[in-house]
Every structure is written in structure tokens, then in C-alpha cells.
Chains A and B, each alone.
Chain A
């Protein structure tokens, strides 16, 4: 079985978000980049499937050369080889177009439910649409039985058990697998694994980011004495007007 894991290269979840150039560009100063946390779950499940059933795992990233340390980390975790589509991931449709271009021939295409920078949460659905194969997200459990895939999918206030056939696209989230930390042997071997760089398929941009904004700053917290919780209820009613 051939598995493709699509990973995003995103600011660490503790990053302070700021913009430069008159709020038209993300400020990368001091920002640590990681494999998207949801993509990391997808990768971990792919490695488990590799270990249990002998699948091969290819990772794919749409990004410029600065994403290569992130790709190497995925190789160190256990992926066999990698593809980098040499382009800025401008919007979901663009990223999905690039993935669909390389995903043909794979049995299982895994990725996170969403990237944590732009949060659209639709690349898996778009790739499924482009390839004419099913897509399911967010998947919390995924097991393969022959050509059938059994999944547990989160819905509002609960979950659904879903079945579909391979080939399939899945957007993953916890607890599908435990994150894996690369070991020394993995890190050493990752250096020599194949990382193919390909040029993007050009497409018309249908969504263009014009400007970025930060939320309005929050006022100072109003402390209320633990001996007087009634005051909190009064304030929520009359001052905040939320009760």
C-alpha cells in the first residue's frame, strides 16, 4: 500500500502573531516552525500502518526551500521519501491543486483536518473532489480491512462511524495516533532519504489576501472576591450584559 501524507509548515502553537509591511505580510521574526499538529497525527498513523502492514509513506509539502527542515523531520519520524512543491501555499485551492497533481496512484492520502495558520479545513475535501475519490474529516480512528476503510469521525456533539473504500483522502485529528518523536537513527537516516523538488502547476488565484488584522486588545481583568460571588452574577447581568 502506498500512503501520501501532506504536511504543512506552520508557526508553533505558542507563536505570537504579528504582521509587517503595512499589515500585508506575516512577521516571521523569532517564530519557530513545526509540522502542523494535525498533520503530525496523520503522519503518526501512516507510520503505524507502515509498521503493521508494510506500507510505504511519502510526505508532500507545498512550500519554499525554508520548509525543508520540517520535511526532514517528517523523514526522521519514519517517512520513506518526500516531495516538495516549490511554491508559496497561497490558498486552499492552490494547495489542493498541487496535491492532486501528485496524489494519483496512492491508496491513502492523509493530512491534518486543517492547517493552524489559515484554518480553512478544506484541502482534503478539495483533493477528494479533484481526484473523484471519497474524503472524510475529521477522522479520530482509521483502520484498513482489505480495500475498506473504517473510520470514526467527529461531528458536533458526538461521533459517527463511517466506512469507505480505498483510495481515500482523510483529514486527521487526535486521538488517531500518538505523535512520534524522531530518534537518533531516524534523524541520521533522514539526511540521505530522497527529497524531490518539483515546480508547481500554475493556476489562476481565485482568493487573494489583501491585508491582515489583529483582534482589538482586551481591557484589564476585573477581580472579584471569592467571598462575594453574587457580585459576579450582578456584573455579568448589568455590566457585561451576557446573562
Chain B
């Protein structure tokens, strides 16, 4: 089985969720080839081998530095053909998921996104995918010979299994007509840990009483090396930007640890966090429904508990 993995980069570095896709492909068995589009650091490209790729293809054309979905999908569909690929694996993302869907149509492949586990090939090719916004799973059979799989965070454990891979240049054929969207500008929080990829998330709700109190929550996040999130009302009121909104209609997170401060736990918020390994709830209302979905709970005032918790985290380091 030939598996091609599309590895996304951010500021020249391979994204962690993409490396999970490499580990996932390795777990499937077969030959794993990774492909990177646009500018990337050569050491970074080689190190993709550590997660299971035997070779890394790099299409360095500067035109690929802009993330045009149509362009990326044409390049990947062609690469699947060139590499005689059976399965294309990539990480779910704002770029990866639509690219995957288009590649599936171009190549006549069966497609599944939000995949959470390695395929079961005992009868056909069956993958498990998250549905109903994390409230259930579906086991779906991918019937076509070619397959495209977009994995959800944590579908594979990231571990080093090999050494540096050999990097070869891949010359992508670019078609002008594919440049059908134009990115005018990008605004990105720099230096921060990306919320969808974070291993620890600290989120605040209305119980934080206003944006001016976010400092104590950010201090805890910093001590834990965590990303910060928020509930829907907080983003609706403009206390925090929309890309921090965790929940059914916002970002779905799957960290090792999710700490919710002053969030009551509406079912729509829970839908965005129910893939977390461990949930801690801090709320002054002992009847807050979030406690029922939590692993650990503290009833108390956020303004009193947050600084103490930050201190305890720093002391334990």
C-alpha cells in the first residue's frame, strides 16, 4: 500500500497535526511518502522522516506560498498519480479538509474527514469518524480503491520511529486557472499556541465578568504552556476574538487537559470539548451543569482560585 501524506507548514515548520497524520499513515502499514508545498526549512523536511515517512517530496515553487485550495488540490491529485498512491492522509484543517474533498473528486476516491482511529481492514476498509459534533461516532466503509482520509487531532500518537528522511524536489505543474481565490491579507496571532492544536486549553466564560480580567486567566495559561479559549457569550460580546470561541459553532478542541473557568457548560459548549482527555471545571455555582461532564471540579470564585492555581503550577515545575 502506498500512502501519501500532505504535511502543512506554518512559518516553515511542519504542523503538529500533520505529523500526527504521518504517524497515522505509518500505523496503517505500507510505504509512507510525505509531501510539502511551498517554502519550508530543509532540516524540518528531513525530520518528517522521524515520524515514519521514508521520503519527503518538496514542491518549493513560491506560488505555493499562498494557500489556494484549488491549486493545492490539483497538485496533490497529480502527486497521487505520480506516486501511485492508494491512500492520501492529511490532518483536518481549514486548508486540509476542503483540499482533501477536492482531491477525492478528482481521483475518484472514497473520502472521510474527522477520522479518529486507524482503519479496520478485517472486512473491507472501515474507519471511525466523529459525528454529531463529538457526541457520537460512525463506522464507515470506504468502498473505492483509492481513499482520502482527513484525521482529527489525536487520531494517532506522535512518536519518533525512524530517522531523517531523504528529501527530493517535486516539480508541481501549476495551472493559472486554479488560482481562483486571492488572499489579500492574513491576520494571525503570532507566538501563541494554536488553539486547535494545543495540549492544554484554559477557557473563560461569563463568570470572568469582563475582558479586563483575562490577565489572570492568561497567566495560568502561560504557566501551563496552554492556549486560551472562551465560551460563545464571551466571543459574542466581543470580549475575546471569534477564533477563540470553543463549542458547537466554534472551535472543537481535543487537548489532554481542558480547564473551564466561569463557564456553566451549556450542551453547545460541551460539544466543542468532549474529545478532551481530562476536564477541570472551576465555577462558583455548585449546580453548574459542567461539573457533570468534568473529571475534577472546584467550587469557588475564579478571581480567588486562578492566581492560587497559577502559583501552584509554577511551584510544581
A residues apposed to B, CB below 8 Å: 11, 13-14, 17, 19, 37-38, 92-93, 116-122, 124-126, 128-130, 133-138, 140, 150, 153-165, 173-175, 205-215, 218-219, 221-226, 229-230, 232-237, 240, 242-243
Contacts and interface: CB of A to CB of B under 8 A. Distances in A.
A60 to B, nearest CB: 19
A213 B136 contact: yes
B312 A233 contact: yes
Given A154-B94, A229-B305, A242-B277, A206 B132 contact: no
25 contacts: A11-B132, A17-B132, A17-B135, A93-B104, A116-B132, A119-B114, A120-B112, A122-B111, A125-B69, A125-B97, A133-B180, A134-B70, A140-B242, A150-B184, A157-B188, A159-B243, A161-B183, A162-B183, A206-B111, A209-B140, A211-B139, A213-B136, A215-B134, A225-B298, A242-B256
Contacts of A226: 298-301, 304-305
B42 interface: no
B136 A154 contact: no
Interface stretch (B46-54, B158-166, B193-201): B193-201
Contact of B141 (A11, A210, A218): A210
Interface stretch (B30-38, B78-86, B204-212, B267-275): B267-275
Interface string B173-185: 0000000111111
Interface of B: 10, 69-70, 73, 93-95, 97-102, 104-106, 109-114, 126, 128, 130-144, 180-189, 192, 194-197, 200, 224, 242-243, 248-249, 256-257, 267-268, 271, 274, 277-278, 280-281, 291-301, 304-305, 308-309, 312-313, 315-316
Given A157-B196, A213-B137, A214-B137, 20 more contacts: A17-B136, A93-B104, A116-B248, A119-B130, A134-B70, A150-B184, A156-B196, A160-B183, A208-B140, A208-B143, A211-B139, A213-B138, A221-B292, A222-B296, A225-B298, A232-B296, A232-B298, A237-B316, A242-B200, A243-B257
B139 A175 contact: no
Contacts of A118: 131, 138
Contacts of A165: 180
B180 A134 contact: yes
Q: What is the predominant secondary structure among interface residues of chain B facing chain A?
A: mixed
A176 to B, nearest CB: 11
A219 B10 CA distance: 38
Given A38-B249, A205-B143, A207-B110, A156 B136 contact: no
A175 B131 CA distance: 24
Given A155-B186, A207-B112, A207-B140, A164 B181 contact: yes
B103 to A, nearest CB: 9
A229 B137 contact: no
A166 to B, nearest CB: 11
B265 to A, nearest CB: 11
7 nearest A-B residue pairs (beta carbon): A226-B300, A122-B101, A158-B188, A125-B98, A134-B180, A161-B184, A206-B110
Contacts of B292: 221
A30 B85 CA distance: 46
A72 B300 CA distance: 47
A159 to B, nearest CB: 6
A229 B139 contact: no
B142 to A, nearest CB: 6
A137 B277 contact: no
A175 B237 CA distance: 12
Nearest to B135: A17
Nearest to B244: A157
B102 A157 contact: no
A240 B278 contact: yes
Contacts of B144: 206
Nearest to B103: A129
A235 B69 CA distance: 45
Contacts of A225: 298
Nearest to A11: B132
A174 B181 contact: no
